[in-house]
Structure 1
Amino acid sequence: MATLEGSRAPARPRAVPVRVRPVRNPFAVPHAPGLDGLRALAVLAVVAYHLDLGWAGGGFLGVEVFFTLSGFLITQLLVAELRRHGRIDVRGFVLARARRLVPALVLAVLGTLVLVAVLLPANAPGLRGDALASLTWLQNWHLLIGGVPYSESFARPSPFLHLWSLAVEAQLYVVWPLLFAGVLAVLGRRRVAVAALLLAFVSAVACAWRFDPDASGAAYYATDARASGFLIGAATALLWLPAAWRPRSPAARTAFDLVGVTALVALLLGLGTASEFASDLYLHGGFLRTGLVTAVVLVAATGAGPAVSGLLARAPLVAVGKRSYGIYLYHWPILVLTRPTGDLAAHGWLLDLGRVLATLLVAEASYRWVETPIRRGAIRRMTQRVRLNRLAAGVVGGCVAALTVSAVFALTAPAGLVSHAPTSATDLAAAGPGTDPPAPPPAPSALPGPGAARAEPVPAAPTTPVALGPAYVLGDSIALGSAQAITAALGPGTTVDAEVGRQYAGAPEAVRSWAARNPGPVVVDLGANGTVEADDVESVIAAAEDRPVVLVGVSVPRRWEAGNNAVLRAAAERHAPTVRFVDWGALVAADPGLLGPDDVHPTVRGRTVLAEAIRRALA
């Protein structure tokens, strides 16, 4: 309504501000910096473990922490989507995870293949299967079917070995939404949480059922055996809603802090002291226990325990946690490609520092220029810019996949037919226990050292065997490769029972079974592949009854070398003179030429020296 100039318009009633409290969505997914800190602890533990640092013997459990975190965060997202839209778009959910994980994975795989093709061209052809399995999220089953152990590799391992854990997570990302959506509609949130806990227990049982002390790959790689942490995280997400449930009273906060700090300390102790060779880890729910402890820590880290959340939310830990995916992807290829040989092995911490810095630099580049832009919608904006419809987008995606596979085949194409002698435990096994293969040539390496120039002298003729009766030699790949020399030294009736990757835990039963039918002496050459427990050694001696027993020490560049030799030497001293100790480490220290390029398996001359040392101990 118009008004005359100079007149005043009628006054409008003044609005009274009304304060409306926002309705908090109890199923929202708030960002918790403490979880980034927990990721940082997990990835740092894994890196320290792969660097073979003595104080990080349980660092492999960092993977279990990742599994639990993944189950928690993924289930939070599923619950939030279900509450928001009334349904779960499984296809969209899987595609979103793929957009987050696949680009950096493809970059890591292809970049590693390029470096291997340039630096170690003879190794490239053997990586085709690993690369394809990694890109298709099947690496854990590829390794399991191939019988590849996780922690017993002495020759240069595959740079894609670590991607088994990403394959496990990806498989669970596909299966869990399907199972979750169907079961939740019938049972409800709390009952699904109970069902997830029951499935976690079933996974622990499957781990125990699959466990073999001499070949723990099935219990370590199989998705069903390693799902317990993921399922515990999922159950935690269903029972604990950080957006709605927070301790309000000082007494409640103090209680949560005490429980959270206790769990965090227990988790750190496990990361430092656990052993991947301990039977208890597989038979008595070690992974399940780690998942439960991690669940308590993550509840505290999301705000229930101010002390824990504040500690884990420190800026350095958060920064590392945000880059944890890239650090995990790239650290293992860098460690493999810079595996110390010759003089470089003596540089110790300085070399490790350089490897860690290289990992952080590559991970930072991946985070800044690959992961972050894609997470913020770079691919979506690009497809919108060029106006791709679904069919065109599918064609482009298929072309990218085809180019990636073609690149893998091109980079792993053999340069020519190369004949080489066995250089690893697996190769020695293939040679058979009745052969004594020639000394392996130096493995190709980007880091040459004096070990590459070793000349292999002609071995001396075997000493005339002594009449000791039918000796029983129980061993791993070292004894397997030395079978002919040992038989020549101890006599034609000698039984060499050797398997690649064999652990001490299975030795008592093997000795007991043989001793029940045979009267001869017992030789045990084990301990290169993992830790030796004093109880197992005592059980071996008891199983041999009153027979002479020879315990062969180890020379292996692993953190358990000194401890194993100490255990074996102490057992021999307690049971002398029936039990003798062969100090193989001392023999190698006096003459490094006894070992091949992997610094573990004996050369031809080394096998002769080892066999003669065993013969002298028995004599």
Structure 2
Amino acid sequence: MDQPKWPSKKTGRRYITGFDGLRSLAVIGVIVYHLSPNALKGGYLGVPIFLLLAGYLVTNQMIGKLSANQPIGVGNFYLRRLKRLYPTLLSMLILTITYITLFQRNFFYQLKEIFVTNVLFVYNWWEVSHGQSYFDRFNGESPFTHLWTMGVEVQFYLIWPLLLILLFKLLRDKHQISMVVLAMSVASAILMAVLYDPQNINRAYYGTDTRAFSFLLGAWLAFVWPADQLRAQLKPKARRLIDGVGLISLLIVILMYFVLSGEAAFTYYGGMYIFSIFAMVLMGVIAHPGSHLNRWFTNPIFTWIGKRSYGIYVYQFPVLIFYESHFKNMGTHPWVNAIIEVAIILVISELSYRFIEQPIAKSDWKTLPAKIKALTHVKENHRPWFKLAPAIIVVIIAIVGIVQSPAQKPNTALQKRIEQNEKALKAHNAKVKAGQATTKVGSSEIARKYGLSNDQVAATKKLKVTAVGDSVLADGSSNLQEIIPNIYISAKVGRQAYQAPAIVSSLKAEGHLQDIVVLNLGSNGTISDDDANKMLKTIGTKRQVYWITTHVPSKPWQKPVNDKINKLAKTHSNVHVIDWYSASIAHRDWFYDDNVHPNVDGNTQFAKLIVTEILKDQ
């Protein structure tokens, strides 16, 4: 098991068992990231590892034939790739759409576009303009978001053989071709940096051209480090050297798993390319038959995970999304729920591997019509096609769902309220700028509605406040404006903490950053130390900061976010905690169905808490 397999007479290629271990490292990183972004903030980097492997393996297969002027069989290559990828992807799409149609109607929209773009493997480009940020973990998170990688990978498979044939015809010299491939990878990384927009990272993150560098680095390695031409016998010194390089690369890959946030600008200004380089070196060392790393990455657990990594990756996100939508205590018991979620993912992936991936991989598609005919053939009173009845029913339900699914997400009462508030915000902020902000509600009515004293109401009219936050703040903005006329609010649905430093800087430059600053961030994901420190540095020590704890019990980052806010209050004398979490945790009746956004009663309590906490220090 732990020894490399040498070229067989049948394939002429060596199966590198350690690559299953590398696939395991990749898919484990992705799953842990999706389970707890705060625990492994760079786990999403498992995707570049998959692309590196794809680039290396397919290019390694083709170089020998092209060098010998032999056809590479482009048509057969396409068919093999589709045979490998399509069945599992289609099964996941049909099962997920069926589940949504029957049980998860909050995702019952845009299913036609999602299905068609995935079947055509262009879903990543659809996500550029229609999808949300990959790192937006709350704002209508889709169970299909992760499938952008399938579009990128298949587009490479379609383009790369033709491009490689063209390069061999134009240049002939493998060294020159390898330099062109390397230059293309650098160009892709530069394009990612050029197209990076901190306010909307979709183009840089989902684009095939901006993610090509990982695939191209793998392809370049195939030119300079061909797997089938590496010698197994190495001198002890050379073996120690290559093992040392591999171990250093492994440590750097793991370190970047922990520190390279997908929300950090450095990630797009070369960070992801640097990661791909070290992952490429690690892959190259594992590929070498003289290195010990192939044996270290070859074990029963890694082999099992690696062989099922495709199914694990495809099914993991729907399982996580659906589970979290039904079990609202994720933030209270994150590890227990994580174990259950992983178990479900592994069971589904094993079933997919045994009954879909393996049978189809071993089947002869030429005999498919005959097999279908045999299933529908009637012999006496026995109808074998009954065996297909469950699958037929699932497909019919999925088709009905695809046909009936609306093209746009229906507006809920919460969405309508937030949309109205966002429009009102602009008008109110304009009045604050002009020094003409007022409230239409009388003082006695405000006192009665929010349970405030007359003195408190009078004091709130003198407050000058700037508030920055996400959809929770947008939801409660009208109440805050009612109590505090001179409050300037910047709130947006889906706002991430990494976007806030630029917003705070802009408000300060425009003169809209008051002496009292309220921050309501963390509903959509974790808050990094870097982002928090940037905001506090911009705000300065002379302003008082009131940071609201988050209430997202269905998400695993609730506790890390609230711990971070409390820690900041202990280390910064001008930071104060408004503990919305503790005040609201026992009041499910204060929230809409999502148990995150306050309803009418909840917003009254939300605004009252903010005001009373600020007035304590006045």
Q: TM-score, normalised by structure 1?
A: 0.80
Shift of 1:485: 1.4
Query: Could you list the runs of 5+ residues in structure 2 that have no partner in the other structure?
Result: 1-5, 374-392, 426-447
Could you tell which deviates more after superposition, 137-146 or 600-609?
Answer: 600-609
| 1:310-353 CA-partner distances (Å, limit 9, x unpaired) | 01111221122111111112222222222254576466544443
Counterpart for residue 581 of structure 1: 577
Does 1:412 find its partner at 2:402?
Answer: yes
Separation of aligned partners in 2, 1:535 and 1:41: 27
Shift of 1:573: 4.5
Does 1:494 find its partner at 2:453?
Answer: no
Does 1:528 find its partner at 2:528?
Answer: no
Alignment of 1:424-463 (within 5 A): 430-434=419-423, 460-461=449-450
Alignment of 1:471-510 (within 5 A): 471-491=465-485, 493-510=486-503
| 1:276-331 CA-partner distances (Å, limit 9, x unpaired) | 22222122x22212211211121121235532100111122112211111111222
Counterpart for residue 268 of structure 1: 254
SS in 1 for 2:210: coil
Does 1:78 find its partner at 2:62?
Answer: yes
Separation of aligned partners in 2, 1:537 and 1:272: 18
Shift of 1:474: 1.6
Shift of 1:171: 1.3
Higher helix share: 2
Counterpart for residue 382 of structure 1: 368
Counterpart for residue 322 of structure 1: 307
| 1:463-514 CA-partner distances (Å, limit 9, x unpaired) | 53613455322222221222211211221x4322122233334434433433
Could you tell which deviates more after superposition, 117-126 or 70-79?
Answer: 117-126
SS in 2 for 1:224: helix
SS in 2 for 1:549: strand
Shift of 1:101: 0.9
Counterpart for residue 610 of structure 1: 606
CA contact (8 A) 1:65 1:291 kept: yes
Counterpart for residue 365 of structure 1: 351
Alignment of 1:146-225 (within 5 A): 146-154=130-138, 157-187=141-171, 188-225=173-210
- Residue 293 (structure 1) aligned to one of 278, 284, 289: 278
Counterpart for residue 3 of structure 1: none
Separation of aligned partners in 1, 2:167 and 2:410: 55
Shift of 1:78: 2.2
Shift in alpha-carbon separation, 1:175–1:556, aligned structure 2, 3 A = same
Does 1:123 find its partner at 2:107?
Answer: yes
CA contact (8 A) 2:101 2:398 kept: no
Shift in alpha-carbon separation, 1:511–1:261, aligned structure 2, 3 A = closer
Counterpart for residue 384 of structure 2: none
Does 1:309 find its partner at 2:294?
Answer: yes
Does 1:30 find its partner at 2:14?
Answer: yes
Counterpart for residue 222 of structure 2: 237
| 1:580-604 CA-partner distances (Å, limit 9, x unpaired) | 3322333233545444333432232
CA contact (8 A) 1:213 1:279 kept: yes
Separation of aligned partners in 1, 2:414 and 2:289: 53
Counterpart for residue 390 of structure 2: none
- Residue 316 (structure 2) aligned to one of 331, 353, 358: 331
Shift of 1:196: 2.2
Does 1:62 find its partner at 2:57?
Answer: no
Partner amino acid for 2:599? T
- Residue 248 (structure 1) aligned to one of 209, 227, 234: 234
CA contact (8 A) 2:138 2:525 kept: no
- Residue 280 (structure 1) aligned to one of 266, 288, 295: 266
Shift of 1:71: 0.9
| 1:123-158 CA-partner distances (Å, limit 9, x unpaired) | 334433222222221221222211412232326632
Could you tell which deviates more after superposition, 200-209 or 509-518?
Answer: 509-518
Shift in alpha-carbon separation, 1:248–1:376, aligned structure 2, 3 A = same
Partner amino acid for 1:433? E
Shift in alpha-carbon separation, 1:429–1:222, aligned structure 2, 3 A = farther
Shift in alpha-carbon separation, 1:29–1:57, aligned structure 2, 3 A = same
CA contact (8 A) 1:155 1:423 kept: no
Separation of aligned partners in 2, 1:121 and 1:511: 37
Counterpart for residue 105 of structure 1: 89
SS in 1 for 2:30: helix
Query: Could you list the runs of 5+ residues in structure 1 that have no partner in the other structure?
Result: 1-21, 388-402, 437-458
Q: Tell me the percent identity.
A: 28
Shift of 1:251: 1.1
Shift of 1:190: 2.2
SS in 2 for 1:495: strand
Shift in alpha-carbon separation, 1:584–1:122, aligned structure 2, 3 A = closer
Shift in alpha-carbon separation, 1:556–1:211, aligned structure 2, 3 A = farther
SS in 2 for 1:82: helix
Shift in alpha-carbon separation, 1:474–1:125, aligned structure 2, 3 A = closer
Shift in alpha-carbon separation, 1:280–1:429, aligned structure 2, 3 A = farther
Separation of aligned partners in 2, 1:237 and 1:419: 49
Partner amino acid for 2:344? A
C-alpha RMSD of the superposition: 3.5
Separation of aligned partners in 2, 1:192 and 1:583: 60
Separation of aligned partners in 2, 1:580 and 1:495: 19
CA contact (8 A) 2:192 2:268 kept: yes
SS in 1 for 2:547: strand
Shift of 1:56: 3.3
- Residue 135 (structure 1) aligned to one of 99, 115, 119: 119
SS in 1 for 2:292: helix
Separation of aligned partners in 2, 1:406 and 1:361: 25
Shift of 1:379: 0.9
Does 1:511 find its partner at 2:527?
Answer: no
Q: How many positions carry a matched residue from both structures?
A: 555
CA contact (8 A) 2:495 2:524 kept: yes
SS in 1 for 2:108: helix
Partner amino acid for 1:421? T
Shift of 1:528: 2.8
Q: TM-score, normalised by structure 2?
A: 0.80
| 1:346-403 CA-partner distances (Å, limit 9, x unpaired) | 665444434333322332232223222333342134369999xxxxxxxxxxxxxxx9
Could you tell which deviates more after superposition, 256-265 or 461-470?
Answer: 461-470
Larger radius of gyration: 1
SS in 2 for 1:99: helix
Shift in alpha-carbon separation, 1:572–1:98, aligned structure 2, 3 A = same
Partner amino acid for 2:339? L
SS in 2 for 1:338: helix
Partner amino acid for 1:238? F
Partner amino acid for 1:588? S
Counterpart for residue 7 of structure 1: none
- Residue 554 (structure 1) aligned to one of 550, 561, 566: 550
Partner amino acid for 2:82? A
Shift in alpha-carbon separation, 1:280–1:559, aligned structure 2, 3 A = farther
